Structure 1
Amino acid sequence: MSDDVGVRLRALRELRNISQRELARLSGVTHSSLSQIEQGRVSPSVSSLKKILDVIPISIGDFFTMDIERADQVFYQYAELPTRYSGDILYRLVGADRPARALSFLIETYPPGADTGREVAAHRGEETGLVLEGEIEVTVGGRTRHLGPMDTWYFDTNIPHRFRNTGRTACRLISCCTPAQPDMHRSEVHEETPPEAELNSD
């Protein structure tokens, strides 16, 4: 187990072009501990591993399931994109197998009534996107706008923001945010697949 963690961690760190000493400094883990982890001599605690992976950034789940040898993949078929759900909202992440990615690029589907939540999201970085079909209500700070096909947005993500489908048909959009998030952005998401949301996503 410790050998696998060490091999994966070193590969991800090098792909991200972060020195061992820099990763130790940013994560708050000692340089000697990080070195021993990469050499497979010790197994990190879950909390220590999370601190390290948050710097890269990548979620613990993706860290253990990612095919490191495919980290240089260039082209993706829609059907092979990993999916996540937050309530009824479907997220498909492009380049999930690229641990060194500098941005998160998502294809999002909002069925009628879908909402990122009253507790509006905020995180460091920038976001832009484009509505492909349907309509979406976007709130950024104190400003709200209803956007339709080919309408776009661009904002600093440290400003609280919210996405809501107030229409009667599904809305599909693409979004891109920097820096890359360890998991899908906007809200905490999970892998369970609501049958009704899956039907509405196609």
Structure 2
Amino acid sequence: MTAQEERQEATSNPDQILGALMRQARKDRGLSMHVVATKAGLSVGLISQIERGLTSPSIRSLRLLADAIGVPVESFFTDVQPDVSVDEEAQFIVRPANRRLLDLRRAGITMQITTPRTRGDLQMFLTEIEPGAYSGPELDTHDGEEAGVVMAGQLDLWLGEKRFHLFEGDAFRYRASTPHRYGNPGKTVTRVHWVYTPPIY
């Protein structure tokens, strides 16, 4: 069964879609799970669970796996509305129907890319975090800067050993080399418009 057939079969399960895309990308490059696990510093068992759609990776784990396989993270995003065509304005404008989506169902996080598909110096995301959901237990680091504004709900943001509690309307910016993670401590969905520079997805 091809990745496209698996995606059609699993349209109601985003974890299965992500797993199928990741498995196909790994196989296309002739990589075993063991090789990817070694490169990413993750267990073969975790990769197997992700590829079978049994769990959602943390944001950090997803980035490590994409790097280990040799693909951009955005290759694991799917179109919000697959049948919507992309026209000539798409190099400048992103309509809601043309966004690409990463749905980490079990992790309680969804991310929609709100920048055009053309390459640039920054990348924007509309991130939704379910109550009690977090980006992962580990602190993450990478190059560049991150900034954003909380559009709705509450956000816990860890920068090193400091935890900041943000509310709707609060904004932030930090060097991404600072160990960081985030989560939703509230009882309603948190929506954050996030900016990364340079693009890491």
Moved over 6 A (4+): none
Q: 2:115 aligns with which of 83, 91, 95?
A: 95
Query: What secondary structure sits across from 1:131 in the alignment?
Result: strand
Written as runs of structure 1 = structure 2, the 5 A alignment for 1:13-162 is 46=29, 58-59=72-73, 61=75, 73-86=91-104, 87-98=107-118, 100-162=119-181
Higher-RCO chain (CA-CA 8 Å, sequence separation at least 6): 1
The answer to whether the 8 A contact 1:82-1:96 is kept is no
TM-score with structure 1 length normalisation? 0.56
The answer to whether the 8 A contact 2:86-2:98 is kept is no
CA distance in 2, matches of 1:59, 1:164: 20
Cα distance change of structure 1 residues 60 and 170 upon mapping to structure 2, 3 Å threshold:
closer
Q: How far does residue 95 in structure 1 lie from its aligned partner after superposition?
A: 2.5
Structure 1: unaligned runs, 5 residues or longer: 1-44, 184-202
CA distance in 2, matches of 1:180, 1:71: 21
The answer to whether the 8 A contact 1:71-1:97 is kept is no
**Is the radius of gyration larger for structure 1 or structure 2?**
1
Query: What secondary structure sits across from 1:61 in the alignment?
Result: helix
The one-letter code matched in structure 2 to 1:157 is A
Structure 2: unaligned runs, 5 residues or longer: 1-27, 31-65, 80-84
For this pair of structures, how many residues does the alignment match?
Answer: 130
TM-score with structure 2 length normalisation? 0.56
CA distance in 2, matches of 1:85, 1:105: 16
Q: How far does residue 72 in structure 1 lie from its aligned partner after superposition?
A: 5.5
Q: How far does residue 68 in structure 1 lie from its aligned partner after superposition?
A: 10
Q: Percent identity?
A: 22
The answer to whether the 8 A contact 1:102-1:179 is kept is yes
